[in-house]
Amino acid sequence: MSGLKDQVPGVDFSAALEASSVSKATPGYLVTAFGRIDSTAATGDYYVQFMDAAAVPADGTVTFLCAPIRISHTIGTSSTVDLDLKREYVYAATGISWCISMTEFTKTVAGAVASMTVLYK
C-alpha cells in the first residue's frame, strides 16, 4: 500500500434514493462511506452491507468486505450511516458494491431507501 494513502480517492455517490450500487467494478480499496436512510423508510432495522463484488449480487449469501452496519430506523426521521475505517482501507479483490438489507448476514435488499457516498482507491 505504499503511497496509497497519498492518492486522491474516487467517489461514488447516490443521485437519488437507492437500494444498492456498484461503487468500483474493479479491484481496489474501500476507504470510507457515509450516507442516510431516508425519513420515508419504514421503521425497522436496516443493514448496510459492503460486498467484494463488481456487480451487485442477487439476494442470498454474499462476500462481505466488513461486518454489516446495523441502523435502527424510525419513520419520519433520517438515520445516518458512517463507516469510519480510520485510514485502514479494506481491500476488495473483485470490486466494491453495497446494499441496504433487511437481514444482517445475508443480502435481502430493502428497497430504494438510502443515499450513500462511497470513497475508494
- Count Cβ atoms below 10 Å from residue 1 Cβ, excluding itself: 10
- pLDDT one-digit tens code per residue, 2-48: 577 778 999 999 999 999 999 999 999 999 999 999 999 999 999 99
Q: Is the pTM of this model over 0.85?
A: yes
Show the domains of the chain with their CATH numbers.
9-120 (2.60.120)
- CA distances, 28 to each of 9, 10, 47, 92 (Å): 10, 10, 23, 5
Q: How far apart are CA 90 and CA 69, in angstroms?
A: 15
> pLDDT, tens digit, for every residue of 72-104?
999 999 999 999 887 789 999 999 999 999 999
Per-residue cell: 1: 500500500
> Could you tell me the pLDDT band of residue 1, with boundaries at 50, 70 and 90?
low
